[in-house]
Amino acid sequence: MDTCKVLAVETSCDETAIAIVENGKRVLANKVLSQIEIHKVFGGVVPEVASRHHLEGILPLVEEALEEANCTLDEIECIAVTNGPGLVGALLVGVSVAKSLAYGLNKPLVPVNHLAGHIYACFLDNPVEFPLVALIVSGGHTDLIYMDKHLSFEIMGQTRDDAAGEAFDKIARAMGLGYPGGPVVDKRAQKGDASAIGFPRVFLEKGSFDFSFSGLKSAVLNFLHNSEQRQEAINVDDVCASFQQAVVDVLVDKTIECAKFKGVDNVIIAGGVSANSGLRKSIEKRCNEEGLNLFRPSLSLCTDNAAMIATVGYYLYKAGVRADLELNAYASMPLG
Ligand SMILES: Nc1ncnc2c1ncn2[C@@H]1O[C@H](COP(=O)(O)OP(=O)(O)OP(=O)(O)O)[C@@H](O)[C@H]1O
Ligand SMILES: [Mg+2]
């Protein structure tokens, strides 16, 4: 059988990532150099600092990936690269490296949308079937997408303000829980009472698949502020559990409604927040009750990585998509 090895480059935010994946499925190497410890000090990602660290880390990472995959650059069939959405300076590092590799090796260059990557992380370890509805919940996005076939993306809903991950990060910061907030809020929520505080669930107009999390975020910040003013002790575990439940209720409800609206049997959750234990449990339960098949990436593939980019890259390459050396990086870019 013909094999097609794709080398993928991902630098959209604060993870420098290189992967080599065969036929969009078999991961030969998936190297991620996380900058979390560097940005923790600042309480969030500093774009310029991220770009500089991508620059330092990326070329050794290409070498490491080739070594781990036990293959040479000659064996690579094409180079896939995330060219948006993301931090422009950070993306530029990856795009420049990918262009140089493609030019120097005379190999095709394939541009990949980062959000398509998050969805395709699911395809790496699941027998995903179409048509499907995908919920992307990450640091910068909360999107509901309908797909009837590969590379066909219909946006059903998006956040009108904060992304779910952003809300996790901001309330964690307000409670001094560090960066990134999602994993620690998740952990603390497991010890708390989700019904302790009645934070709002924002569903917007009837039939809308859009999201809004800024009101919920403000409600949590107000609660913390008022408790402090009244010198009342704050039970951080309860705040985390009540906040998380409010996010999860809306995410799960809208995803199930969207799946029913489109008449699909298959649901995907993807992106960093899809690692959340409350979301995983709750959506699994609802999908079971509704007779829907649920596909989730393994935990290590939820957050940014290049294996997911290689997988989209493979399907784009097979569909004949190519970029030339004029390829640019974009802070925001339509999916598809
Ligand atoms: N267990 C968890 N529970 C909730 N949120 C989580 C969990 N693990 C990670 N996150 C959140 O996921 C986000 C990071 O995810 P990801 O790497 O996909 O986002 P990003 O790449 O920064 O944004 P985007 O993909 O939209 O460009 C952060 O906001 C982080 O707090
Ligand atoms: Mg991401």
Q: How confident is the model at residue 145 (pLDDT cuts 50, 70, 90)?
A: very high
pLDDT at 56: 97
Q: What is the DSSP letter of 310?
A: H
Whether cis (ω within 30° of 0) applies to the bond prior to 85 is yes
* DSSP H stretches of helix in 70-113: 88-105
For ligand 2, the distance from its centroid to the CA atom of residue 39, given in whole angstroms, is 16
Q: What is the pLDDT of residues 7-54, one digit of tens each?
A: 999 999 999 999 999 999 999 999 999 998 899 888 888 999 999 999
Task: Tell whether the model's pLDDT for residue 223 goes beyond 90.
Answer: yes
Test site for ligand 1: of 40, 141, 250, 273, most ligand atoms within 8 A of the Cβ: 273
The total domain count for the chain is 2
For ligand 1, the distance from its centroid to the CA atom of residue 3, given in whole angstroms, is 33
Look at residue 190 and tell me if it is in a domain: yes
Task: Tell whether the model's pLDDT for residue 336 goes beyond 80.
Answer: no
Q: How confident is the model at residue 209 (pLDDT cuts 50, 70, 90)?
A: very high
Query: CA end-to-end span of the chain, whole Å?
Result: 29
Q: What is the pLDDT of residues 185-208, one digit of tens each?
A: 999 999 999 999 999 999 999 899
Ligand 1: residue whose CA is nearest its atom 13: 139
* Residues 254-259, mean pLDDT to the nearest whole number: 98
E strand segments, the chain: 5-10, 15-22, 26-34, 78-84, 109-113, 132-137, 142-147, 154-158, 266-270, 293-295
Mean predicted lDDT score pLDDT of the chain: 96
Q: What is the pLDDT of residues 62-107, one digit of tens each?
A: 999 999 999 999 999 999 999 999 999 999 999 999 999 999 999 9
CATH number of the CATH domain containing 77 = 3.30.420.40
* Residues 305-316, mean pLDDT to the nearest whole number: 98
> Could you give the CA distance from residue 18 to residue 162 in angstroms, rounded to a whole number?
29
Look at residue 133 and tell me if it is in a domain: yes
pLDDT at 1: 62
pLDDT at 68: 98
Judge if 91 and 178 occupy the same domain.
no
Test site for ligand 1: of 138, 248, 330, most ligand atoms within 8 A of the Cβ: 138
Look at residue 47 and tell me if it is in a domain: yes
* Residues 155-181, mean pLDDT to the nearest whole number: 95
| Length, in residues, of the chain | 336
Judge if 136 and 274 occupy the same domain.
yes
For ligand 2, the distance from its centroid to the CA atom of residue 262, given in whole angstroms, is 26
Characterize 2-22 residue by residue with b for buried, 16 or more Cβ atoms within 10 angstroms of its Cβ, and e for exposed: eeebbbbbbbbbbbbbbbbbb
pLDDT at 301: 95
- Token pair 């409670």: residue: 175
| 85 close to 113: Cβ distance less than 8 angstroms | yes
Q: Domain residues for 80?
A: 5-118+302-318
Judge if 311 and 196 occupy the same domain.
no
* Residues having CB within 6 Å of any atom of ligand 1: 12-13, 86, 114, 118, 138-141, 165, 168-169, 180-183, 186, 271-273, 275-276, 303-304
* DSSP H stretches of helix in 177-332: 181-189, 214-229, 236-262, 277-290, 299-302, 307-318
